[in-house]
Amino acid sequence: MKWQMISIARDNNREAPSILSCVEAGCVLCSSGFVEIMVNGKTFMLDESKMFIYPPYAEIAVGIVSPELECIVLDVDHQFLLNTLKAVSWSDRLQLISDCPIAPLSEFRIERINLMLSLLKHDKNSENRLDALSDECLKQTFTYEVLSAFTEQIKIPAETKTSKDFIVMAFQAMLKRECTNHRSVAYYAAAMNLTPRYFTTVIREMTGNAASYWITKSVIVEAQHLMLDYSLSLKEITFRLNFSSQTFFSRWYRQYSGETPTQFRKRNKI
């Protein structure tokens, strides 16, 4: 599973847009300067002593980057996140994070986070099994610390995990692996031995959106990721996304995004 920490400093912050827009899941901790981050078209300002948490399967773009920007980017995959958060309720935070992904950090939290970062930056480069387990626990602890700092600011009450939380967590993990192969709600419901009606009801209740919305969003995000690789033809992208034809893919993409794949590429070409 992926877990990497990237430092953006003043001498390399020109790379910030490409780094920040390609993170699968994780957070950004800003120590100086500011950066505009767009989430599904809505702009948020991340500046000193604040953190940004990536909403799941959101469309991310980067706007203005100040010359003084310095930050730490944590980039993990969704599977690591889901495995780490088994002990707490996660699904009830999905909509909250999408609505407000930025939270200030108190001096207490900054001190704790910096201590953990200093430990994580130190590469033991050891084959000792205990060292590996220690690092894994520290990564999980750091994830809990970030989530605690976020929930501390938005005042989410502590809740115990329910069966509905597990359904949402399993659905999010399956989407990452299988959205390009399966785009029907019935498939994901059957994989969890649920009726499509109950499955859809749970997903809408817990996340604020229907299961079909998350499936479509995941495919669009994956399509846009592939389209930003200009070495790939639209025909090859169509094949990778398992659409029957390029024409069908173009119609489908336009229906849900409001523009054709060609228009998307022209708009985003540097």
182 & 127 share domain: no
Count of CB atoms within 10 A of residue 41's CB?
Answer: 8
211 & 149 share domain: no
Q: Determine the pLDDT at residue 183.
A: 93
Q: Determine the pLDDT at residue 188.
A: 93
131 & 182 share domain: no
Q: Determine the pLDDT at residue 241.
A: 94
180 & 46 share domain: no
Q: Determine the pLDDT at residue 253.
A: 94
Q: Among 121, 154, 187, give the residue marking a domain's end.
A: 154
118 & 221 share domain: no
| Residue 43 belongs to domain spanning | 3-154
Site of tokens 């002593």: 49
148 & 48 share domain: yes
Q: Which residues of 134-148 are buried (b: 16+ CB within 10 A; e: fewer)?
A: ebeeebbebbeebbe
> Which domain CATH number covers 241?
1.10.10.60
Q: Determine the pLDDT at residue 1.
A: 62
Q: What is the Cα 128 distance to its own chain's centre?
A: 31
173 & 57 share domain: no
Inter-residue contact 10 to 69 (CB < 8 Å): yes
133 & 207 share domain: no
Q: How far apart are CA 254 and CA 270, in angstroms?
A: 22
- Give the predicted TM-score (pTM) of the model: 0.60
CA dihedral 79, 73, 105, 85 (to 10 degrees): 10
32 & 138 share domain: yes
41 & 133 share domain: yes
* Per-residue tens of pLDDT for the chain, all 270 residues: 677 888 898 888 788 888 888 887 889 999 999 999 988 778 999 999 999 988 876 778 899 999 999 999 988 876 677 666 665 555 556 566 777 889 899 889 999 988 888 888 765 555 677 777 888 888 888 888 888 888 777 655 555 556 787 788 788 878 888 899 999 999 999 988 899 999 999 999 988 899 999 999 999 988 988 998 889 999 999 999 999 999 999 999 999 989 999 998 888 775
Q: Among 154, 179, 202, give the residue marking a domain's end.
A: 154
> Which domain CATH number covers 105?
2.60.120
193 & 110 share domain: no
Q: Among 154, 181, 199, give the residue marking a domain's end.
A: 154
- How many domains does the chain fold into? 2
25 & 149 share domain: yes
- Strand 70-76 and strand 50-53: the pairing is unpaired
